């Protein structure tokens, strides 16, 4: 499985509330009649004095055999040029184990770095034994004033829990850290706040 490095300064503490978990043996999906649909149910806002915004949108809602649901995050530096703990290029806010929703149920993978090993007919990583993750991560980077970036994630089922895209609400949280204008995170006083969003899985 190809994994990108994770932004250590932007941990995700998920607080999802998944529905009751069912049997692993879910029936296969059909493109014409998808069994599940994913919707955005809540998006938190960062305080105005942070000067940084993160938004979320569901770009693909239906889960079928041919494609998973898809979520797009848009991060924007509304303040002056400074360092912000949000990844770029090989770094992603939801990398490695932090792609998992709190209490399990769903898993976000960068759309260009989904697992190579997939359970047949399901958007679920086919884990063969315990899964480990590297201990290193990504530092913050300098964002220009008004700069924005998009992060696209495929919504997969959580291989660590039973069931498959169980109906319910799932939550992820970010700790966003910023440096003062024209300064860097290393050795500087910083401001930080938590940003979160929730997805709801329903019967289609």
pLDDT of residue 21: 33
| pLDDT for the residue numbered 140 | 72
pLDDT in tens, 10-50: 333 333 333 333 333 444 444 445 489 999 999 999 999 89
Say if pTM beats, i.e. exceeds, 0.85: no
Which stretches of the chain drop beneath a pLDDT of 50?
1-32, 34
Under a CB-based contact definition with an 8 Å cutoff, are residues 30 and 158 in contact?
A: no
DSSP state of 125: B
Token code pair at residue 127 = 């884990």
Angle, CA of 188, 191 and 193, to the nearest 5°: 150
3-state class (DSSP) for residue 48? helix
Q: What is the CA radius of gyration of the chain?
A: 17
């Amino acid at each position: 499985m190809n994994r990108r490095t994770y932004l250590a300064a932007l941990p995700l503490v998920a607080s999802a509330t998944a529905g009751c978990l069912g049997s692993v043996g879910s029936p296969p999906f059909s493109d014409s009649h998808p069994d599940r649909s994913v919707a955005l149910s809540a998006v938190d806002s960062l305080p105005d004095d942070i000067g940084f915004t993160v938004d979320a949108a569901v770009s693909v809602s239906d889960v079928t055999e041919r494609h998973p649901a898809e979520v797009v995050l848009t991060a924007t530096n509304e303040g002056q040029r400074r360092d912000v703990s949000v990844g770029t290029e090989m770094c992603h806010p939801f990398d490695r184990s932090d792609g998992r929703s709190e209490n399990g149920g769903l898993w976000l993978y960068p759309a260009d770095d989904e697992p190579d090993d997939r359970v047949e007919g399901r958007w679920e990583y086919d884990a063969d034994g315990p899964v480990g993750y590297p201990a290193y991560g990504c530092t913050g980077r300098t964002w220009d004033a008004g700069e924005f970036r998009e992060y696209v994630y495929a919504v997969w089922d959580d291989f660590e829990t039973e069931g498959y895209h169980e109906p319910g609400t799932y939550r992820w949280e970010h700790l966003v850290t910023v440096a003062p204008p024209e300064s860097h995170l290393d050795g500087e006083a910083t401001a930080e706040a938590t940003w979160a969003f929730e997805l709801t899985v329903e019967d289609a």
